[in-house]
Structure 1
């Protein structure tokens, strides 16, 4: 009996745990992607570490942590909430200046008249340079305000505190901030379920923006549908998940992320109405890792998003310290990076930003910012997406073919080459590449085009049998009627 129960227990345990082959299939290298069937496929590295900013980069000035990064056309801004400071570097990663005490146009430290103390930043978490107005916006989180400085001299310009006309229950503790060309300010407040706060240029409240829908629990929905009003009041309320970061794309639309487990989506691209218009035409939705290679699956938690000028966006995953690259269509291009203790590894990633075709990734625990540049394969992939985004089909097709010579497992490239053939009305060749890339939607378009062209080119050969059959039928009827007349 003991042996019998031991066998039964072992069988049940074996059914519950993933097989050794499944674990092996989901054990990742540092660079990979997913195929159509959801299997991880090794890939050439798209980016490689070339430089970094750490405590030694600033001489005697200590670097407490790095909580945010913003890259302008000529400077890099790092937010250090531990030291309550903004550190500024040039594009060669050379240290320029540190902003902690707020100064006037004459360079004198300003004093708060109410407390008679020096005016300084208090654990800021976000920064943004609006180059159109040449103003530096700092989300001074702990102080519950936005400090606006001159974009060149860093002299004090104004302070935006909680607007008097602001509605809702959200506390005004700005965490992340962006400003559009018209001066409209969009602010993320951690933990807010009312959405992104949008302010006018003068600091007055405009609206809450962007709806983050929670997942629907069918059991709770059933009970609430039959509960009385008194019972509903006692039930736990469901709030909209909060956002944790945001940025702009080249068209001025806001990208935002959330790592709230109750959210339906993790990444958003909002139009002016606050509707999510993010394209997700890839094999899978934009959710990050499908598997994490362990017995307990860990879902990706995106802490930041960076969007290039040609629609490629990079998502920073806090769970496994990885960077996910997606193109404008929502195709997964590459996954690289990982958690660890070596230089370039991530322990507590906080922010990511594009610097041209390079990526800057920050880590709070290591108090460092890492600069990654594209490899030959990565550059070819980016160039292909750039050409396709700008409508240059033939150049895009050539770049996609280049990526295939470097990495034959790169499914997106097969689809890219197929699109080029489809644009040139070469449907049969397009079908071949779409099949290789498992692009079923585009394959259907190419097949329909191929069928239409086939009918056009062979119309006479298709009609002649029907004409002959009709003629034979009429002739037989004629002979039959003549014979019986």
Structure 2
């Protein structure tokens, strides 16, 4: 009897095993997923070319790098441990650092509230506004935002907690972005009320963006049966908090969360705060696929960087991987990993685009890595740029070049198929869409191919109906004529 139960238990375990142990079907780096969810080795899209660390800053010690922002001509690094902002030029040469805040004459500014020198206190975020030429620093521990002149780094103003701010969120700004109109969006770690929006004058505007929690069926069932008194004693469910945010070229906000209770991990918010992130790829934008049910192995996105062509890179804090998606939600490539080798990360904190390069910050190593596209990666990025800008012909040619470098790149087959689809070469389009497992586009191409086939061979579809109608008419004629002769004989 025990043997029978062991066999039954083992059989059930084998049936459930693929959904849990499939996590082994991944690689340390440089892979992607096919239509069936199998991890497939891929050429790397990026490779390490440079490093910024304490040696590049001279005598200044880098304690940690918690945030990175790249402007047109500078790179800003946030060192939370040393309470400092380090600034580099685009040539990777150290420019200056900011720890003590000074005015336009070079004198140290005195904090009006404390009467002490105004110094940064464990900042966690930085943003440079190209429109206003101002540098915004999220001075987290001091619960304020410091605004400096973008050229001289002289003090301009300080923004504390707005007096008209509602809700229970503690104002400890962690990450910050500013749009062209001066509207400030702030992420506060641990806040369940959303992203804080602040007007240019420092007044509170609203909470923005809804992060829905997953529905726990068991809790929902018991709460539906519980009395009001019992519900008050039950554990409340709060909306998961965001941990980072950025802009895209259209001014929409991208945000991330690594809260395991969240329904989504990546967001693209419109002006109403609705998530309009496109997820037309094989799978949702969740990073590694085969870690479902294994919380410790799930991807935890700590930061996101969006290029002008809509390609966004997600930094996985859990395994140090970088997931590259196009604006439609197709997984382009997965590269890098956690470890002690050069280029690997221990505690990744931030990622940013630097032209076509990517900058990745590591808190534990206290350095920044610069990755540049490989030949395959550059070809894929060029194709996405052309496609994003509506240049179908050029995109198709770039995708063809990409296929020469990586024949297993499904997105390229779909890209070539789109080119033929726009040229009304539907049979060729169907061929490439089938190779790319793009069922949606294949259906469109097949529909157009069928319509075109009917138009060109319409007469061959009509002739059988004409012959059938003629046969019926002749049969009816013969029948009526035969009956007419019989009546005449009578």
Q: Contact 2:76–2:85 at 8 Å: present in 1 too?
A: yes
The aligned residue for residue 251 of structure 1 is 250
CA contact (8 A) 2:101 2:154 kept: yes
3-state secondary structure, aligned to 1:118: coil
* Contact 1:421–1:427 (Cα < 8 Å) also in 2: yes
Contact 1:360 1:371 survives alignment (8 Å): yes
Pairing 1:61–2:33 present: no
* Aligned-partner SS, 1:52: strand
Equivalent residues, number: 482
Contact 1:23–1:294 under 8 Å retained in 2: no
Task: State the distance in 1 between where 2:110 and 2:314 align.
Answer: 40
Root mean square deviation of aligned Cα? 2.1
| 1:132-151 matched pairs, under 5 angstroms | 132-151=131-150
After TM superposition, the score normalised by the length of structure 1 is 0.96
Residue 226 (structure 1) shift:
2.1
Which residue of 1 is the match for residue 403 of structure 2? Answer: 404
Q: Label 1:207 to 1:113 Cα distance change in 2 as closer, same or farther (>3 A).
A: closer
Answer yes or no: is 1:449 the counterpart of 2:448. Answer: yes
Structure 2 counterpart of 1:385 = 384
Task: State the partner residue of 1:428.
Answer: 427
- Equivalences for residues 59-98 of structure 1 within 5 A: 59-98=58-97
* Structure 2: runs of 5+ lacking an equivalent: 485-490
Question: Structure 1 residue 15: deviation in Å?
Answer: 3.7
Deviation, 1:18, is 5.2
CA displacement at 1:112 relative to structure 2: 2.5
Q: Secondary structure at the match of 2:297?
A: coil
**Alpha-carbon distance in structure 2 between the residues aligned to 1:114 and 1:326:** 46
Q: Matched residue of 2:461: which SS?
A: helix
Structure 1 residue 210, shift from structure 2 partner? 0.1
Change (3 A) 1:27 1:327: closer
Partner of 1:334, secondary structure, is strand
* C-alpha distance in 1 between matches for 2:23 and 2:198: 50
Unmatched runs of 5 consecutive residues or more in structure 1 = none
| Separation of aligned partners in 1, 2:315 and 2:171 | 26
Name the residue aligned to 1:323. 322
Structure 1, residues 407-456: CA drift from partner, whole Å, max 9, x if none?
01100001111111111111111111111111111111111111111111
Task: Report if aligned partners of 1:306, 1:353 keep a CA contact under 8 Å in 2.
Answer: yes
Task: Compute the TM-score of the two structures, normalised by the length of structure 2.
Answer: 0.95
Shift of the alpha carbon at 1:10? 10
- List structure 1 segments (4+ residues) > 3 angstroms apart after TM superposition: 4-19, 22-25, 113-116, 292-297
Task: Return the alpha-carbon distance in structure 2 between the equivalents of residues 84 and 5 of structure 1.
Answer: 65
Q: Tell me what 1:233 maps to.
A: 232
Question: 2:488: which partner in 1?
Answer: none
Q: Give the distance between the partners of 1:18 and 1:27, measured in 2 at CA.
A: 16
Q: Which residue of 2 aligns with 1:47?
A: 46
Q: Distance in 2 between matches of 1:151 and 1:187?
A: 20
Structure 1 residue 291 displacement after superposition = 2.7
Contact 1:28 1:293 in 2 (8 A): no
1:5-16 equivalences under 5 Å are 11=10, 15=14
Q: Say if 2:64 and 2:79, in contact at 8 Å, map to a contact too.
A: yes
Classify the secondary structure of the residue corresponding to 2:173: coil
SS at match of 2:462: helix
Query: 1:112 is paired with a residue of what secondary structure?
Result: coil
CA distance in 1, matches of 2:453, 2:348: 54
Q: Is the contact made by 1:69 and 1:79 (CA closer than 8 Å) also made in structure 2? A: yes
What corresponds to 2:487 in structure 1? none
Distance 1:199 1:24 in 2: 42
* Deviation, structure 1 residue 25: 6.1
For residues 383 and 297 of structure 1, the distance between their equivalents in structure 2, rounded to whole angstroms, comes to 36
